[in-house]
Amino acid sequence: GNGHNFRAHGPPGTGMRFFVTCDPANIRHIFTTNYTNFPKGAEFAAIFDIMGDNLFNVDGARALRPRVKIHTVLSSPRLVASMEACCRDKVVNNLLPLFCHMTSTNALFDMQELMSRFMFDLATTALFSVDPGLLSTDMPPMDIPVAMDTVMEVGFFRHMMPASCWKVMRWLNIGPERKLGAAHTVLRVFIAKMIERRNIDKVHVSNDEEQEGDTVRTTLTWIFYNLAQNPDIVATIRNELLPIALQKAPTGAGAMVIFEPEEIKSLVYLRATLYETLRLYPPAPLERKTVATKDIMPSGHKVHAGDTVFVSIYSMGRMRDVWGENCLDYNPHRWLSKDGNTLRYVPSHKFLSFNSGPRICPGKDIAVMQMKIIIATVLWNFDVEVLEGQSIRPKSSCILQMENGLIVKLKKRQA
C-alpha cells in the first residue's frame, strides 16, 4: 500500500490485532469481492447489544433473506413516495412554523439539536404513527434522542478497548457503562410505550429506523455549516431552484415557498452539494469488520483469522489519490459532468459514505430526498447565519456529530 494501510496491536496480553485501511482496492476486496470473509463479527454485535438481533448487527447467511427483503421494501416506489410526503408535510406543518418563530424572536439556536428534533418526530411518525411533538415552540425535553446519542458515544468507546475491559465496567456499572445502562432503560421504556400505544406486534419493531434519522440529521447539520462558508454555492442552489419557484402561485408577505418532492428530484447541483458534504463529513466515519479466515489484501498485506479490520470512511473521503489535488476543497462541481448537467459516476468503493457491496445503505434514495426537501425549502425561504467564533469539531462517537452543536440565526429572505 502507499500509506493507506497500517497495522496495530491492542494493549499487551490482549492479543488484539488490527488492520486499518482506506485503500480503494482493499475496500472493494473487503466489501464486495470477498465479502463473506469479512463479517461484522460477534464483537460488533456485543458493542451494540441494545439493538439485539436486528439487521444492523447480523451478518452472513442468516441475514441474507431479511437483507434482500429490506432492500426490496425500501425501494418500493409506494413506500418512497409516502416517506417523501411525510417529510414534506413535517417541513410545512412543523419546521417552517418553528423557523418563522425563530426569525420573529431573532433567536440564536442549535441547528444540530433542531435537526435531531425534526428527524426524531419524522421517524416516530413514520414508524408508530405517533408525533412526539419535539418541534413545538416550547422545545420539550428530548430524552430519547439524547439516549440514542449516548448509545453511539459509548459504542465508540467500546470499539477502542478490549471487550473484557468494557464488560467488566458494565458488570460493575461504572463509567460510560453506567451512562449506557441508563440510556438503554430510557429507550426500552419508550419502545414499550409506543408498542403498547399502537398495539403493534413487537417482532416488526426494531430501533433501526429511529437510528437512521441520526445519519440524516448529522449530514444536514454539516451541510448548513458548509453552506454558511460558501455563499457562492448557496447562490448556485438558489439559481437551480429559481425556475421552480417562479412557477409557484404568487405568495403574500411572509408566505413561504414550498417545494414538492417531484419538483426537486432531478436537481443535480443540489444533489452534488449533498454528496460533497457526505464525502468530507460521512456521518458513519468508521467501519469495523472481522477476518473469518486468513487472507491477502490487494495491497499485499496479510490478515489472519480473528483480526479486526477498521476502515476509515472519513479518510477515504479525503484521499488525494481518489479525489485529486484539491481533495480538501468543498466543491460540489467535482460530482458533475463538464457541462454541469449530469452527475458523474463514482463507484461506491471510493465514495464509501453509504457503504459498499451487499451492505450498501438501502435507504440512500430516501435519505437524499429528505435532505433535498429540507435544504431546498430552508435555503429558499431563509438566510442561515452561523454564529462566528464557535469551535466546530466532531465528537468522539460512532456518528460524526458536532461536539458543541451548530449555533445559528435565521433571517427571512426577501425573494
237 contacts ligand HEM (rule: CB under 6 A) = no
Name which position in 215, 277, 308, 397 contacts ligand HEM (CB under 6 A). Answer: 215
> What is the rounded radius of gyration, in angstroms, for the C-alpha atoms of the chain?
22
Single out the residue of 109, 110, 107, 114 nearest to residue 91, CA to CA.
114
What residues numbered 263-292 form the site for ligand HEM, per CB under 6 A?
278, 283-284, 287
Residue closer to ligand HEM by CB (options 120, 354) is 354
Asked if 354 touches ligand HEM (CB under 6 A), the answer is yes
List phi, psi (to 5°) of 411: -125, 135
Ranges of beta strands (E only) in 313-404 are 382-386
User: Of these, 112, 150, 219, 377, which contacts ligand HEM (CB under 6 A)?
Assistant: 219
Regarding 17 and contact with ligand HEM (CB under 6 A), the answer is: no
Q: Any contact of residue 359 with ligand HEM (CB under 6 A)?
A: yes
Residues 152-211 contacting ligand HEM, CB under 6 A: 208
CA distance 262 to 373: 10
Total chain residues near ligand HEM (CB under 6 A):
23
Residue tagged 433542531 (cell numbers) = 114
User: Which range touches ligand HEM (CB under 6 A), out of 138-146, 149-157, 265-273, 347-355?
Assistant: 347-355
99 vs 351 by CB, closer to ligand HEM: 351
All residues at 6 or more sequence positions from 18 whose CB lies less than 8 Å from its CB, including other chains: 7, 8, 9, 10, 307, 308, 309, 310
Supply the minimum distance, in Å, between the C-beta of residue 128 and ligand HEM. Answer: 15
Pick from 35, 34, 94, 85: which is nearest to 59 by CA? 35
Is 398 a residue that touches ligand HEM (CB under 6 A)?
no
Please report whether residue 70 would count as binding ligand HEM according to CB under 6 A.
yes
User: Among residues 230, 244, 249, 151, which one has the least CA distance to residue 191?
Assistant: 151
The contact mask relative to ligand HEM for 362-381 (x = CB under 6 A, - = no) is xx--xx--------------
- Burial (Cβ within 10 Å: 0-12, 13-18, ≥19) of residue 390: middle
Name the minimum Å distance from CB 110 to ligand HEM: 19
- Ramachandran region, residue 294 (left: φ > 0; alpha: ψ -120 to 50; beta: rest): beta
CA dist 312 and 310 (Å) reads: 6
Place of cell 458515544: 153
Residue 381 one-letter amino acid: N
Nearer to ligand HEM, 16 or 74 (CB): 74
Q: Does 124 bind ligand HEM (CB under 6 A)?
A: no
**Is 87 within any annotated ligand binding site?**
no
Q: Which residues bind ligand HEM (CB under 6 A)?
A: 55-56, 67, 70, 74, 208, 212, 215-216, 219, 278, 283-284, 287, 353-355, 359, 361-363, 366-367
Binding residues: 361
